Structure 1
């Protein structure tokens, strides 16, 4: 009987990542492995789990494990700054989406065909819709940013507050008014209404300050490790140095031209949405082709 932990010793000797075949691991992951909901995107990943600093990406055939520098539960801020810099997350998102578009995965195809033999129509339509949204954002990024901050964020906060309030009213029963969710819901709703009146400069400033602090702190940590040599950055010396340098450039841009940073990042968001739309369309067309093959084979 072998556990996944039996194959992880190289990680303590400077190896960045180990890939373990699922056939080699005979025991399931223990209860101390917790499912990780938020991860830096990686191609082929179907699920992710964490155990302290150990971070495993499950694919169809392998367990890919690396050792984070910081445990996100104990040091969430340092983990975000050093293990998940903003530019790394953006870059890996593009790589993962492009990889998924090019892949030929047919996982659970038969089951999909049985349950949703027309789902490819929905996928293609949804993909086109998302691609158009992404194109609209990337073609006019500042207007899209203001639309998100002026409408979507305040509206989301207000609706969430109304839901919390309604839930409090429905479940109040014997509880007093002040002990239920109603006061909190009303407070959230009021906050959402107030946010509707925040000026554009507030959003641009808030957005650039938060992202600048994130990128600048990540750059200091990455370039500081780079000074110690390649062995200090087993996950990729050149890529992390480039991320550090680009982060500094973007921070300088935020200081002298904050609107430019907002524009660039909004365009990146638009491109990501376009890629997601293309991915959904491609999957829908693949499913259509598989259905044709199955029908012609009968």
Structure 2
């Protein structure tokens, strides 16, 4: 029988057939999926954001839906709508694309806030309410949203409440010189998506999610997580620190990341590595800090340097 750690490695290997040189992004995506969170990918166009999401869904053999966000998109285009059937003389619900297992919210910052908010209930409660009726979404329900940097024209900044629903905010980054050369030779293109085969099915995926949250996290590391979060709230450059939801997000993410890395226990380096992805988009800087060109990444780095790292206390058979 294949071990859970081997299954995770098989998933990563399949996705790497399509997305070359982005193992850390793949690992973070799986971490968020296992933790029951969602991912916001912010980067310039053309770096493979959409291809990553499609390859992930294909390797897991679960349903995939895509929402192309545009300025004229309506909330009902996301959640679904009730339509009158003249034959039965009743209204019938026609579900929107939010009903998939993996939902790609493509260019989410190109639509109006009210449509962005249509995802809010689903991301927070795994349900959607239309015409007063609440319907449960699939399990797993995983949103991977993409957006171009906010300095591009025609975009809407996501509000803090929406950003807080994302477990991670990550960047894809440009490919290396060799990877870009492979693109020109046709070694990495859209046709390669057919190379990604399903290696894990729905029941296996649910088992992996459950196993990831059984990962051991010591009391010392739980306290370390709280200390880091509270340090963001008292930082002089921050007007709004990491929320309690962010504290829980760090715990679940650390457990899942350790699991993805093939361990049954969390180490301090897991938390330190994940802190920028979990914390940065949850921080609101003061006007003075913004004027002085301070960035969220600077605050997180400062907090990591100031908060003492606990000494590991693991049993010999951990």
TM-score between both structures, scaled by the size of structure 1:
0.22
Larger strand share, 1 or 2: 2
Larger helix share, 1 or 2: 1
TM-score between both structures, scaled by the size of structure 2:
0.21
Pair member with larger Rg: 1
